[in-house]
Structure 1
Amino acid sequence: MQISTTFRHMEPSDALKSYAEEKLERIKKYIDEPVVVQVYLTVEKIRHIVEISINAKGVSTKASEATNDMYAAIDAVIDKIERQLRRYKERLKGHKPADAPERQVQKKIIAAEDLEQSKEPVVIKTKTVSIKPMSVDEAVMQMDLLHKDFLVFTDAGSDSINVIYRRRDGNFGLIETAK
């Protein structure tokens, strides 16, 4: 876990830094490595504000808390982040399908310049990805977490390959393949 601590409007304190790092160890059980954590400790008159931003593989979360005591603010913000990560992990477990095999799919990208110059399309980039069986709800959640406009997945119920995509109106579209 890579933790960077920033002190704003206060003197840097090793005690506060080590206390925050010790408390952040509690979240390791909820997310996979690599984890990048940024802790901001701020003092504004009598308010002590703690902001924590976490970026991990597929997960990103932020929380902040303000109290009259910096240690209490650290405890409160860690509790808040732990609740968020626990809820996220429970949602993933709830959507996990039975042990279904993953499929391999290749993605090819073709440059527009190559299409204009020649009549035959040219493959610029090929990528092989694993398609995990999941429900439509889990596919929407994964698409949001990955910040993608579409996602190819195997429907856990029908075992068919589907595509879910974000429409311009903000809703989602689903393309199902027929067997």
Structure 2
Amino acid sequence: MEIVVVGRHTDVADRFRQHVEEKLAKVELLSPYVRRVDVEVTHENNPRLSENRERVELTLRAKGPVIRAEAAADDRFGALDLAIDKLNERLRRARDRRKDHRNNKVLPPVDVRPLEEILSDENASANAPEPQISTPAALSEPGDSVETTIGDSPVVIRQKLHHADPMTLDDAVYEMEMVGHDFYLFIDKETSRPSVLYKRKGWSFGVIQLDSPCGAAPVTDLK
């Protein structure tokens, strides 16, 4: 298993790199086919965020979907422990899912409703002014990312290009849980429509679909 540790706006000491390798050694017990774990460490300079100034993001690449977990704390060692706990929980879910599929267990249904009803329930504002976003550089390869700003405001938009293979709704729910996001952008395998799966209250989910089918080309999302 390859472990790659990088720092974003910060240096990473050899002591921490060694600690990461020791902590991640047990990952192979839950994911025997893991090939690589990317560890990204970010330092926040804002003093108002001192309690969460160190952020650690773990990305596990193995046979199957990418599994991601991240956490923040006042020191990177504590953030690493929290992130590993989340990663291990998602690895256990993946293992249980494989068992459920062997037993033909059906996952909870997903709530697919008209867009108008979804927007009404979520109290979306239809009259919000359209922000002026600067045009980003072209993204050509999956994994490419770029950050842009909205006019003169301090708001930063990170745009990233992902490869998109058509998948079922069931697979989209699973992969969203593995990366720990509240939403997941995918191409519906049955309809070829660009779709967004998102979490609602409790164990329910919602799906927004566009009425224009597309191919299996890479798509861009904002994360």
Q: What is the TM-score normalised by the length of structure 1? A: 0.55
> Among residues 78, 81, 89, which one is paired with 2:84 in the alignment?
78
- Asked if the contact 1:39–1:53 (Cα under 8 Å) also holds between the matched residues in 2, the reply is yes
Unaligned runs of 5+ in 1: 98-134, 139-145, 151-164, 172-179
Aligned to 1:7: 7
Shift of 1:137: 4.8
Q: Distance in 2 between matches of 1:52 and 1:69?
A: 16
Aligned to 2:20: 20
Larger Cα Rg: Structure 1 or Structure 2?
1
Shift of 1:20: 1.1
Number of positions where the alignment pairs a residue of Structure 1 with one of Structure 2: 113
- Asked if the contact 2:166–2:192 (Cα under 8 Å) also holds between the matched residues in 1, the reply is no
Letter in 2 for 1:25: A
Letter in 1 for 2:96: E
Assess, with a 3 A threshold, how the Cα gap between structure 1 residues 147 and 137 changes in structure 2: closer, same or farther. Answer: farther
Q: Distance in 2 between matches of 1:78 and 1:11?
A: 21
Q: Within 5 Å, which residues of 2 pair with 1:1-179?
A: 1-45=1-45, 46=50, 47-97=53-103, 135=104, 137=106, 147-149=165-167, 165-168=189-192
Assess, with a 3 A threshold, how the Cα gap between structure 1 residues 168 and 44 changes in structure 2: closer, same or farther. Answer: same
Q: Distance in 2 between matches of 1:14 and 1:78?
A: 19
RMSD: 2.5
- Asked if the contact 2:36–2:62 (Cα under 8 Å) also holds between the matched residues in 1, the reply is yes
Q: Following superposition, which runs of at least 4 residues in structure 1 exceed 3 angstroms of deviation?
A: 135-138, 146-150, 168-171
Task: Give 3-state SS (helix, strand or coil) of 1:52's partner.
Answer: strand
Letter in 2 for 1:75: D
CA-to-aligned-CA distance 1:110-152 (integer Å, 9 cap, x gap): xxxxxxxxxxxxxxxxxxxxxxxxx4858xxxxxxx94458xx
Q: What is the TM-score normalised by the length of structure 2? A: 0.45
As a proportion of its length, which structure holds more strand? 1
Q: Distance in 2 between matches of 1:95 and 1:136?
A: 6
Q: Distance in 2 between matches of 1:87 and 1:136?
A: 14
Shift of 1:23: 1.0
Task: Give 3-state SS (helix, strand or coil) of 1:59's partner.
Answer: coil
Worse-matched range after superposition: 48-57 or 2-11: 2-11
CA-to-aligned-CA distance 1:32-52 (integer Å, 9 cap, x gap): 324211101111123001011
Percent of paired sites with the same residue:
29
Q: Distance in 2 between matches of 1:24 and 1:34?
A: 11
